[in-house]
Chain A
Amino acid sequence: AQSVAQPEDQVNVAEGNPLTVKCTYSVSGNPYLFWYVQYPNRGLQFLLKYITGDNLVKGSYGFEAEFNKSQTSFHLKKPSALVSDSALYFCAVRDNTGGFKTIFGAGTRLFVKA
């Protein structure tokens, strides 16, 4: 069965500093991996995805993520955090056996302090 783990409930970072939000996954075969962001009282928004190819993928709002197959990780990164990046971030893995259902991690709340 596919699963996703986000080991940190919360990440705190100062504005201007680099940020990392961690994600590890468990899946048979090649993973389809995603990051989504949720702002207060809103639905989730797609940030970026890894399907195949370059291990470093770039997404919206200056975010990027690094796929590491040996460590089964897909950490979200940003070189310089903004206060407006404060939100709830979800890592997710999509069914790679022909279906489309997506399984989410528990989420990590990011606080960026001015």
Chain B
Amino acid sequence: DAEITQSPRHKITETGRQVTLACHQTWNHNNMFWYRQDLGHGLRLIHYSYGVQDTNKGEVSDGYSVSRSNTEDLPLTLESAASSQTSVYFCASSDRRQGQTGELFFGEGSRLTVL
């Protein structure tokens, strides 16, 4: 079965360190997204990509970057981790073929703690 996997599922890091969260999907979807989930805020969009070499900023992109070198992967990098980036991060994908309505398929999440 197709799926979307995130790693690591849990990570503790220190302020100022660089952190990369991996996302890998086997749906063959062109669209991929990174969200963060915080109490009271729901899910907020960090970055998204509509295909290889395409990346776009979401509503809370400061301090984060992504790259898309193939269809399957969209790693999220925190350049210099801050305590405000302690959160649960979700990767999602969707089909952009004509006629598809864009419902999202989510990974299980990566819980990041920045001390």
* Count of A-B contacts judged by CB separation below 8 Å: 60
Q: From residue A89, how far is it (CB to closest CB) to chain B in Å? A: 11
Quick check: A44 and B90 within 8 Å, CB to CB?
yes
- Main secondary structure, interface of B, reads strand
Quick check: B109 and A43 within 8 Å, CB to CB?
yes
Interface footprint category on A: 20 to 34
Q: From residue A111, how far is it (CB to closest CB) to chain B in Å? A: 16
**Which residues in B have their C-beta under 8 angstroms from that of A10?**
none
Taking a contact as CB atoms closer than 8 A, the residue among A41, A100, A106 that contacts B102 in the complex is A100
Taking a contact as CB atoms closer than 8 A, the residue among A32, A101, A106, A107 that contacts B33 in the complex is A101
**Which residues in B have their C-beta under 8 angstroms from that of A100?**
31, 48, 50, 94, 96, 102
Interface footprint category on B: 20 to 34
Q: From residue A92, how far is it (CB to closest CB) to chain B in Å? A: 8
Determine, out of B37-45, B62-70, B73-81, the stretch whose residues face the partner at the interface.
B37-45
Quick check: B90 and A101 within 8 Å, CB to CB?
no
Contacts from B to A (Cβ < 8 Å): 31, 33, 35, 40-45, 48, 50, 56, 58, 90, 92, 94, 96, 101-109
A-B contact pairs, 16 of them (CB 8 A): A32-B101, A32-B102, A34-B104, A36-B106, A42-B108, A43-B109, A44-B90, A44-B106, A46-B105, A49-B101, A90-B42, A94-B102, A99-B50, A101-B45, A101-B58, A105-B42
